[in-house]
A and B are shown apart, each in its own frame.
Chain A
Amino acid sequence: MKGDTRNLLDPQQPVQTDPVDVSALADDLTNTRDSNLYTASQWQLMWWKFRKHQVAVWSAMTLLFLYLMVIFCEFLAPYPLSFQDTSYAYAPPQRIHFFSDDGFHLWPFVYGLEGRRNPETLHKSYREDRGQKYPLRLFAKGHPYQFWGLFETRRHLIGVDSGGTLFLLGTDSMGRDLLSRIIYGSRISLTIGLIGVGLSFSLGLLIGVVSGYYGGWIDNLIQRAIEIIRSFPRIPLWMALSAVLPSTWSPIQIYFGITVVLSIFGWTGLARQVRGKILSLREEDFATAAMLAGASQPRIMWHHLLPSFMSHIIVSLTLAIPGMIIGETSLSFLGLGLRPPITSWGVLLQEAQNIQTVAFYPWLLSPAVFVILTVLVFNFMGDGLRDAADPYDRS
């Protein structure tokens, strides 16, 4: 018997040097990049795969744009946050024109806004004053503001000459430009998700690692606690917790308070995912191999297990941010989250709470469009990231 197989199977056959392809990924890579593929790290493989997901790439660019808006909101907003002009209360969105009575204009312009109160209903109605044309100006001089609280300037990205108005999304009851308020509101609404997720992430990672790593009764205790927390109805608990926040707190304190309230639910899902990943990865042969090589438990944890589920964690974070944004918006809409003078999308939507406003001034709902857009692009990007997250998936 001994030696049989050696004759049966040709030992002279050369060693296979052809690399195995990484599923469909390799097919799309040209020959010139082939040698790079061999030495490509996980993040490179992920990027190559993500790049092929068009919707996700567009979403990522939209998000980039939204967060640039957060950073440069003072400059992008046509009016500063403090601007109000009650003579223009509830003005409808102004249209941007290219054509006037005297033909086509290469440069867009808006007409002047003329308001008149109906003497019977006392309702104010607006119409375009065709006699006055205000061309849009880039880097226009408008109302002064403090840029990042550092220096005062009057330059806005777009604006019109003094005397004209530029209410592209209309105004609210106090004649404040809604577009500017939405742009300022993004600063709160879009960052509360990031900070909330950051907080949930730290909690979830820590508790998940403890739960998965130690197991036993600690694991049991943590898992039961998570089940209890998750079985609370979300909105009432949020309401109760935000009601506890003292009304004497400053806007900044309220902002962080609400973030903490939102994170109370956020961490549980993440902790579960981390625990599950640790439990399954601990059984992988490469973790056993590291242990047999004499690696310490912390080394196995940080060098083998953590990098293996990091990509999944990032994906779930991306998918968790929209939940936070919606949470803030709902709480503020209900009047339990952020309150004026803080401007967030939820606070703006408070104005659109009764049917009368919705019927007469539908443009007050436009912050909701931004909420929907943000949530959608986060989800699309999360989808793309999820597909790209495990370049080693052999299925």
Chain B
Amino acid sequence: MNETITGPILTTDGIPLKVSLQKSEKRNKIRAFLLVVPLLAFILVTFLIPIGDMLLRSVDDSYINTVFPKTFKEYEKWDRQGLPSEELYKTMFFEVKESEGYAIGKASTRMNYAKSGWKSLLKKSKRKFKKIEEGPYKEQMIAIDKKWADMEYWKAIGVMVDATTAGYYLNAVDLKYNVDKDVVWQKENRRIYNQTWVKTFKVSILVMFFCLMLGYPISYLLSTLPLKYSNLLMICVLLPFWTSLLVRTVAWMVMLQQKGVFNNLLVMSHIISDENRFALMYNETATIIVMTQILLPFMVLPLYSVMKTISPNYMRAALNLGASPLHAFWKVYMPNSIPGISAGCMLVFILAIGYYITPELVGGKDGQMIGNWIAYHLKTTLNWGLCAALGAILLGVLTVLYWVYNKLVGIENIKLG
């Protein structure tokens, strides 16, 4: 393409310069990449694959297929009109009878999510099936428990036949499959997640707002003070940043509890009486107060670094031209500080939305966020599918926010002091 009269420029080796440059450029690229590879591989194996593996659990429904493979195959033939045929009862009978008790237990937990009652039914059946030697099985099974003659239970199996399910995601937003695999709302008293999602967003937004309200003025002060004072005050911002999260949470428990420092001071100064102490601990207020203090440095640091670059001459010029201080601030200083505001707000929001420790310790019952439900299902109910689905939704929200943050601020500009 590059056909000039003199031909391409050559290096001393006789290779065209362009080719030679491309080659060395490529070599440099590979070298740079090789430096990153160890960490990238490490993060992939120790961090990303585990998370991906967990996310797969949110749609995985294959276990039950390994316990009842023949039954599920036979099930396909059922027309869902009358009770199933003797053949289906028979395969079910043998698979329940011959499977390991552990496998039945695990499968029945899953089946109970589809229709409650399965667990007790299978437990009872597993015990009694041992005595049955020969068919016909249908009548004998119904004799053991009338649930075997209940169409609802048979229909519910239809929800579990596929190896993947969207059921956990539905559960995570208070929906569920009914036995006919239609999407319906959970019962009124079991709807907890939507309000938790709303609460999580509400708390995160409030924390972000309070951080901005508290962080903006002090960042301004820090950026305008002479360096020797601002360095000293900066320590007040950085020390909490370096102090253990648990230590700070303990400190707040000391401050906010019924007989804590804050209430004591109010009682001592006769603002409130001894009986009317504020309930500041173990509720949503506590979660918000403590999270604000914990996340405040993440607001101040980006704000400070942006404000540091705003020349004081802008404000002087505005004031000189007759603007009132408020007007000058609103029209001149504030717009200049918007990059800092957006960086700080996004970072605080991103970090707040997945909080777990603080709400768990100070939040009581009504200060719980979605992170606490993930932990609850992870270690208490062992409903790992739901745990993964809640995690996946949270991670989805975070990925969008993180992407926006990266576009707006640039991830390499995170400030750590």
Decide whether A and B assemble into one complex.
no
**Which residues of B are at the interface with A, using a C-beta cutoff of 8 A?**
none
**Which residues of A are at the interface with B, using a C-beta cutoff of 8 A?**
none
